[in-house]
Amino acid sequence: MIDTPEKERTVSEPQVTSPLATASAADHYAELVHSRRSVRKYDAKADFDHDVVQRSLELATLSPNSSNMQLWQFHRVVSDNKREQLAQLCMGQNAAKTARELIVITTTPYKWKERAKRNATQIREAFAGREDATSKRAVKYYEKLIPFVYRNDRFGIMGAIRKVLVAYLGRKKPMVREVSKADLRVCLHKSTSLAAMTFMTAMRAEGYDTCPMEGFDSKRVKQLLDLKPKDEITMIIGCGPRAEDGIYGDRHRVDNSEVIIKH
């Protein structure tokens, strides 16, 4: 039995027992996706169970994320006072003002060393006594490649050097080109966005609604929540029970043929 490091969780997959179960899961999922809308007005009188937010965020942490670095945080703004202040910083949008809880999703780039170490340790322990080429490669990935890509200076000079290096090395073989400081920011926001989607889908599954928002004053929000200077806010999600007139219009999308392209 291998000791898992403190707070490390091993998540087992639920068993899909039959093709029938798969079919109904697909139907349920399609129903969820269709019924999720960005809700801009929440019912102030309906019951709202804040435990559902906690549960949904716990599911969100199971989202795929780059190199399993988990460089994210989910700040729950529950108290009336903070919520009202935050709603003002969301430019007074209805989706924020009427929300029963607001979630501020952030990236935490400065935790990369600790997370890389944790992942390397986890692999070492999992493969203790039976190390093979794959496990050695995985450890090397966290101990050599991740530091190479994640280490940055204030001005992004190291990233610019990496960019030149991969352009040179990539002349004759495939290379990952996104190695600058800005690329790393994008990388972290991709993972937090996927977590946001898991959260919103989980909330819908519980009968509640959400609205993702990027219309906010990030500087003031960081001050309000006492966030670190290097924390970056991906989005703020308002949530609660949908008001009858909470959806502002029909859902519109461009034609699928314009955006789904087969090669």
Residues lying near ligand FMN in the complex (CB under 6 A) are found at 37-38, 40, 93, 95, 211-215, 235, 251
Nearest-approach distance from CB 99 to ligand FMN, in angstroms: 11
Q: Is the dihedral of CA 184, 186, 220, 59 positive or negative?
A: negative
Structure tokens at 124: 């070492």
The set of long-range contacts for 220-229, using a CB threshold of 8 Å and a minimum separation of 24, is 220/89, 221/86, 221/89, 221/104, 224/82, 224/85, 224/86, 224/89, 225/75, 225/77, 225/82, 225/86, 225/104, 227/75, 227/106, 228/108, 228/110
Nearest-approach distance from CB 115 to ligand FMN, in angstroms: 24
- Residue closer to ligand FMN by CB (options 204, 222) is 204
Residue showing the smallest CB distance to ligand FMN in the complex: 215
Nearest-approach distance from CB 21 to ligand FMN, in angstroms: 28
- Residue closer to ligand FMN by CB (options 115, 189) is 189
- Residue closer to ligand FMN by CB (options 38, 135) is 38
- Residue closer to ligand FMN by CB (options 6, 250) is 250
Structure tokens at 228: 């670190």
Nearest-approach distance from CB 216 to ligand FMN, in angstroms: 7
Residues 98/44, Cβ–Cβ less than 8 Å = yes
- Residue closer to ligand FMN by CB (options 212, 240) is 212
Nearest-approach distance from CB 215 to ligand FMN, in angstroms: 3
Identify the CA nearest to 204 among candidates 80, 30, 20, 75: 30
